Amino acid sequence: MHLIQIVMLVCVTLLATACGSGSDSADSVNSSSSQSSASSSSIAAAISKGIDPERFLDGALAEDISTVDCTLSDGTASTCYQVTINGAPSNADIGPFCPPSITSDASEGGIWFDGSGEVYELDGAFIMNLDTLYGSEWMLYDSVTGLINITDTQLACESAARPNVDPAYQNYCVECKLEYTGGPVQQTFLIPTQPVALNSPERLGFDIGLGLNGVVFAGPAPVDAILSNYTIAAFDDCGGHINPAEGYHYHAAIGCAQSEPESDGHAAMIGVALDGYGIYAMTDDLGLEPEGLDECRGHSDTERGYHYHAASPGENMFIGCYHGAQGDIVETRL
C-alpha cells in the first residue's frame, strides 16, 4: 500500500479562500450536498475553479462526493471534496498488456513508453526488436515456440512488479490481473475545494490525481528500474497497468479519462490533481498544445483559472510538479 509523501511547507502567504462554511459534513454523502458545494466553489473562481464534481463520468465513483474539513500539505486548514473512485475505468476496458507471441499484432498487446518521447506498440515485432533497442541481454521470448515470457500467475506478478525484481523474472513482460488484489482498488482522495497556490512548486508523489473515469493518475513509471531488470511493465492502450499494491492506474493521458470538449475549444478536462487544479488534455480541438506552460505544465486563463495540461504519453508523465498545496489519499480499500 502506498502513502503519499507529504512535504510540509512553512510559508504560505497566499490563501485563495478559507471557504468558511464550517460544516463538518463527513457524513453528508448525498448528491444535493455535493451539488451545493460545487456551485458555491464556482463563485470563488477568480483564481481557479478547482474541480467540478459533476464532471466525473457515470460509474467512476464508488459513492457520492461529500465535503469535509481537511488540512492541506502546507498546513492550510481548508475544506476538501472527499472523492472515492472505483479504481477501474467506467468507460474503457482494462488490457490487453503483453502480446502472447512474436507473431502477435498490435491488437493483442498494449503499449510501452520509456520517457524518451516514443510510444511503442507492444506487438511481437517490438518484443523481437528489444535487443536492438535496449541491448543484447534482452530476450523476452522462446526462440523455438515464439511464445513471449509473461508473468501469468499472482506469484509471478508479485515477484516481477516490484523494485527488486526476482532474477527468475528478468526478461519477462510483466502484467498483473485485478483479481490478484481482490478486484479494483477503491481509493478515497481529499481534493481541496479551493486550490491554494504554493510559493514554489513541489515534487509529485506516486499518485498525483484522479481521472474523471475513476482511475488513479500516477506519477512517472520507474522505467529505469524496470528496464535495468530486463522487464517491460506493459501498459494497455489507455496507458494503464496493474500492480499488486495500487491496483489499476494510469501513467499517461491517452484520451480514456476525458469528459466532453470545452465549449471554447480549449482542451478537454481529463481529471484533477491532488492539489485541486484541473488536468486537461494536451491539445485543444485544433490539435494544438498551449504555449508558455510553466514547469508543472500549468497556465491560467480567464475561464478556468490555473490548470494543468497533460504531457504526451511518450514523456511518461501527466504533469511536472504540484502548483498548489495538496490534499491527501485517506484510504485504500481492497
Q: List residues near Zn ion by CB under 5 A.
A: 221
Provide the minimum distance between the beta carbon of 222 and Zn ion in the complex, in angstroms, as a whole number: 8
Spatial CA neighbour of 118 closest among 282, 315, 281: 315
Q: What is the length of the chain?
A: 334
Provide the minimum distance between the beta carbon of 304 and Zn ion in the complex, in angstroms, as a whole number: 6
Nearer to Zn ion, 79 or 323 (CB): 323
Provide the minimum distance between the beta carbon of 18 and Zn ion in the complex, in angstroms, as a whole number: 27
Provide the minimum distance between the beta carbon of 298 and Zn ion in the complex, in angstroms, as a whole number: 8
Nearer to Zn ion, 146 or 314 (CB): 314
Spatial CA neighbour of 334 closest among 248, 238, 262: 248
Give me the residue label for grid cell 502477435: 104
Nearer to Zn ion, 141 or 306 (CB): 306
Nearer to Zn ion, 221 or 252 (CB): 221
Nearer to Zn ion, 29 or 227 (CB): 227
Nearer to Zn ion, 128 or 252 (CB): 252
Cell output for 63: 459513492
CA distance 248 to 87: 6
Burial track 151-185 (b if 16+ CB lie within 10 A, e otherwise):
beeeebbbbbbbeebeeebbbbbbbbbbebbeebb
Q: Which residues contact 303 (CB under 8 A, 6 or more apart)?
A: 262, 264, 266
DSSP-assigned beta bridge partners for residue 233:
174
Nearer to Zn ion, 174 or 221 (CB): 221
Provide the minimum distance between the beta carbon of 234 and Zn ion in the complex, in angstroms, as a whole number: 10
CA distance 235 to 253: 12
Contact 272, 191 (CB under 8 A): yes
Q: Which residues contact 269 (CB under 8 A, 6 or more apart)?
A: 55, 212, 258, 259, 262, 278, 279, 280, 281
Strand 278-280 relative to strand 305-309: parallel, antiparallel, unpaired?
A: parallel
Provide the minimum distance between the beta carbon of 249 and Zn ion in the complex, in angstroms, as a whole number: 6
Provide the minimum distance between the beta carbon of 280 and Zn ion in the complex, in angstroms, as a whole number: 6
DSSP-assigned beta bridge partners for residue 331:
188
